[in-house]
Each structure stands twice: as C-alpha cells, then as structure tokens.
Chains A and B, each alone.
Chain A
C-alpha cells in the first residue's frame, strides 16, 4: 500500500515538476497539502468573521432590545432566529471543523510524519472544493426569500421540518444541503488523514513515535467517519420532510420527531470530541515544547483518547433528557456521561503534569495553550452537572447550558486555534508573529471571554431560557439586575471582537515584516521543524527524514541541547 501511495503522489501531481506555476494552479487548484491547509484555514477564518458578526448582532438585541443595532439596523424576530441558528452552524461546521481538523491536519500530518504529501492529493483538493461549495451554499441561504434557516442549529423537527413553523422555506433546505456537503468534504479529508498516517510515515517512525496531534486528528477522523452516517441519513429524511411532504419526523402522520434528535446527537456528541481532540493535540505539542519537558505518559494519553472516542458513542442521549426519552435510558446515559469525564481528566492531568518541573517559556502560543487547559477545565466541570439527568431537567435549554457549551467550545475553536496559529505561523510563512501584539491580543481575548460567559452562567442558573428574542416580555427575566448582566456580556463580546483586529493586524504585518524564523525557532523536536520555513513543495527536499526516537525528548540528561530532534542520528549521542 505504501508503495502505491507514494507512486500515486509522485505521478498524481508531479512533485518533480518545479516549473513556475500560475497563481491559479499554485494557490487555487493546488494539490499541495500545505496550500489546501491554508485554503481551509483562511476560509474558516473568513467564516469566523461572519459567525462573530452574527453573535454581535443578536447579543446587541438581547442587551438593548428593540434598538437599532450599529452595522445592522433593527433586528426582527425572524432574523434573530436565523442569526442564532447560523452563528451556531458556522462556528461548528465552518470554523472549528475546517480550521482545527482540516487546516491543521492538512498542514501538519505530512510534515510531522515525514512524507511529501497526502497519499490522495486529488481527493484532498476535491475535499476543499466541496467544502468551499458548502460554504457558498450556506452564504447564499442568507439571501433567499425568507432568509437563512431559523430553526436552531440542532434543527429539531417539527420546527425545522415545516416552513410554516420556521418561516424559512428556502433557507431550511439550503442549510441542510450545505451541512451535508460539508460532511462529505470532511469524510474525504478524513480518509486522507487516516490513510496517510497509517501508510506514509517516515522510515523508522513507529506507532509510538507519532506526534500526539497526529494521533488526535486521526482518531478524530475515525470518530467522524463512524458517526456521520446517521446524520446524513437524518438530513436526507428531513430534506424530504421539508420538500417532498414525507413524514419521517411528523408525529401527526405517524412519524417520530425524537428520532431526529437521536440521529442528530448520535453524530453531534462524537462531533464535540472530533473538534476537541485536535485542540488537545495542539495544546499537547505546545505544552511540551515550551515547558521543555517530555509529554507526561504518552501511552496513557493515547489510550485515554481511544477510550474517549469509544465512550463518546454512548453518551448522545444526554442532550435529550427532557425530550421524552425513556427515563431508564437516562440512567444509562447519565452514567456514561459521567464516565467520559475520566479520560478527559486523565489527558488534562497529563498536560498539567507535563508542566510540573518544566522550564516554562511564556510565549503567546504557550499562553493560549495554558488558557485552553484552564478554561476548558471550567467547561468540562460544568458539564458534569449537566450530565446528571436530575440537574439537567432544571438547567436544560437555559443559558447555563449555553455558557457551559461555550466554555468548552471557545477554548477549542478559538483559543486552541490561536495557540496553533502563533505556534506554527513561523513554519507556515517563514516569519514569527509579533510577541508583544500577540500578548496584547491574548489578554484582550481571554478576559472578555470570561466576561461574556460567567454572567451567562449566573443568568442560566437564574432560569434564563435560550432562544428568546426579547426578555422584556417575560416579567421574571426582565429585572434590571439580569438586564445588567446581559449588557455586561454584550460589551465583553464587543471588546473581544475588537481585540481580534489586533490579531488580524499582527497576522498581516508579520506576513510581510515579521522577524525571520529560520528552520526551528522554538527548538522543537518534531519533523516539521527540520525543513525550511515555509517548507518547499515536497516538504523535505532531496532526502526524506529517518526517525530514531519519539517526538518529546526534551531536556534529556547528558545532552548539551535541551531538545533532541526525531531525525537526529543516535551516533551524535554523548557517551
């Protein structure tokens, strides 16, 4: 298989072919894994701007209901539903997925395992093209009559199934089509990640020498492959319900709306781990590099991750405790939900143990990595309460759930992504990002982030229900103290969004004028750091690397340098 794979790479898109390429063939229709990674990353970042803008608009409505919103105008209830729905959809499917899995997986996997490209470069290109198509379909859905889909990102029927309920006759089917296309794109990408890692590793790289982030992306891809089937089936059934008049989810005609919830969450919960695992991987790499310490218990982390992946298929109904599922099933799903915190906790403890006794360098990437560990811990701990069915009956569909979810997802999709960008930017573009601006951006992101969601925890525990357009219509929720917290959260959001301009400026300035990085600016061990920055087409030039040791040999006793690249020959070892 490996031989075939390499042959295909070689012949498929002519790595030997180093003649000047046009802009289109080099950056748009490229089969180079790095370019495809960038395409995913920039598309994801552009979508993040849209998702962030939507959040700004509906947060403004909640803080100052009925007022005209700068850069939007007056927000109607239908548009509010559409914005909330598409904020969730975009941030999960078009930001977290492309940036964390597709961009990082594409850019890092071939570099870290020491091969010249993905084993199926054209499938890889097709993956991005379908993803781009899905993003275009989603964006088009905002401009059709009735506006973008307004049935919440979980698309529960009957609300999502009938246009007279969600009042988005065209937005709803387009949303489903976009999500389905997006899933197809990531299946293609996932096939590449798994096959490349299993078949195209550098000479000498054994299973336990694979960097943790590569393992995490591979396991995430397997989870994704195993879990999307029900969602695609459900999406097609829902599309038929919307357009052809079938009644899979229509109780009045003998269907079952709860079935959709099962189909959705059977995918939806593993999906949480699909995006979590790459984030864990990123933070693991960064923690080791900047603590100058070996990753604490590599094998335990790996096996915990596999256990986490398996368990993630047994927890989905904890989203449905109040949807009318059998109460006996809730015992089971409460138990599995509490169990799944064990492998997550093991990984978190392993990262904290990695820090212990390390020689920590507080670079911007490391700050974001540490922030991930701390903030995700808050999200995880609040999840334990929500996983208990008794507590969930009160808290379900309140802002407590929302705040919990964002305390897990913002660390994953935003904080870990920033950590990765600050860490691998020198490898991607050959220059370092400005550290001062980076730290400014870090504190400007983390403090407002907590400012947004801590008030929402309090509001949620106080009974504030989700998906409400105007709380002034609810006497119990319209009090000045609650409204003050909403205003505080909204102002925090605006501050956080404003600080992202610092990041964008830093990104653009550093592209042009950043300090030259050289091959290995962080003195890290993994294989991507032995090649040029940015790596050339084919990654490693004439000779492909050979691997002699694991990826985390930092501060090894008896060595002059505190790092030990994976490809360095053992002869250089001091006696």
Chain B
C-alpha cells in the first residue's frame, strides 16, 4: 500500500470542478445547437456524471489501488442495479397496468356470466365501481379506466 504513488488529490478535485462546470453549462447552452441539443445534454449531463463518478471511485475511494476483488464487488453491485431494473421494468414501466390487466378475458367472463343469467352485480352501472373496489392499489387507475371503457 505504502509503495503506491497516489496522484495529487488536488488535481483530481480541480478536474472534478471543471467537469462540474461543463455539466452545468452544457445543458444550458445546448438549445442553441438545434438538432444536436439532445445529444449534447445527454453527453454533458450524464456522460460527464459517469466520468466524475469514475474519478471519485477510482481515486477518492482508492479502488484503483485496492486488490482487484474490491472493484469487482462494486461492479457486481452495479450490475445488480440492472437486474433490479430488469425485474421491475414490467411493473414500473407500465404502471398504468395495460400490460397485464386482461380486459378481453374479463369481458368474456362477464359475457359468459350474463349468458348464464348469473347476476354478478346489482346493476350494470355499478360494475366499474365494484371492479375498482376489488382491485388493490397498484392497478387502481387502470381498472378504473377499463371500467369506464366498458361503459
């Protein structure tokens, strides 16, 4: 450990400050560049954020000088972030629920029940409201919507 030559932390700090200025200024001036505005915002805001994060991890967190398993653990944690996003994407990215509520089968079931003259609810008008009550919080909005559509 003692054998390593650490870089000047001040230099890293100044680099970070300059990058910070760029990352603030970039999105500010981006609209002037017309069609390039979006890539410029992405690059200056997020690209530079990644670079800054790398500098902090590598130098201030000493990962560049640690045994190799330390950065591996960090990378493993980081990759788990993507696992989490992947696992929740089907729910979180379709929070309105159109991806999993099955209006077709529900309607078919209602029709089938009607055909058997089996009274599901007091009146047709109550139907949407009842569905709303049965649903748990997650699909709240969507059920309401699908109920409305049926009307």
Using a CB–CB cutoff of 8 Å, the interface residues on chain A facing chain B are 1, 3-4, 157-158, 194, 198-199, 222, 225-227, 229-230, 250-252, 256-259, 262, 266, 313-314, 316-317, 323-329, 333
Determine if B149 is an interface residue (Cβ-Cβ < 8 Å).
Answer: no
Chain A: minimal CB distance from B63 (Å): 13
- A325 CA / B86 CA spacing, docked (Å): 13
Considering the complex, which residues of chain B in the window 1-33 have a beta carbon less than 8 Å from any beta carbon of chain A?
1-2
- A232 CA / B51 CA spacing, docked (Å): 26
Point out the residue from A194, A198, A226, A252 that lies within 8 Å of B76, measured CB to CB.
A226
Q: Mark B92-116, 1 if CB is under 8 A from A, else 0.
A: 1011010110000000000000000
Chain A: minimal CB distance from B101 (Å): 9
Determine if B80 is an interface residue (Cβ-Cβ < 8 Å).
Answer: yes
Residues of B within 8 A of A327 (CB): 100
What is the chain B residue whose CB lies nearest that of A265?
Answer: B87
Q: Mark B43-78, 1 if CB is under 8 A from A, else 0.
A: 000000000000000000000001101000100110
Chain B: minimal CB distance from A97 (Å): 20
What is the chain B residue whose CB lies nearest that of A320?
Answer: B91
Across the interface, do A325 and B80 meet the contact criterion of CB distance under 8 Å?
A: no
- A329 CA / B88 CA spacing, docked (Å): 9
- A256 CA / B139 CA spacing, docked (Å): 9
Point out the residue from A4, A222, A250, A258 that lies within 8 Å of B91, measured CB to CB.
A258
Residues of B within 8 A of A323 (CB): 136, 138
- A122 CA / B88 CA spacing, docked (Å): 39
A262-B136 contact in complex given A4-B1, A222-B73, A314-B83, C-beta closer than 8 Å: no
A259-B88 contact in complex given A4-B2, A222-B73, C-beta closer than 8 Å: yes
> Given known contacts A256-B92, A313-B83, A326-B90, what 14 new A-B pairs fall within 8 Å (CB)?
A157-B137, A226-B73, A226-B76, A229-B77, A251-B140, A266-B84, A266-B87, A313-B80, A314-B83, A324-B136, A324-B138, A325-B91, A326-B91, A333-B87
Across the interface, do B91 and A256 meet the contact criterion of CB distance under 8 Å?
A: yes
A-B pairs with the 8 shortest C-beta distances?
A326-B90, A251-B137, A251-B140, A324-B138, A258-B138, A257-B137, A262-B88, A226-B77
Chain B: minimal CB distance from A309 (Å): 10
Across the interface, do B80 and A226 meet the contact criterion of CB distance under 8 Å?
A: yes
- A257 CA / B69 CA spacing, docked (Å): 36
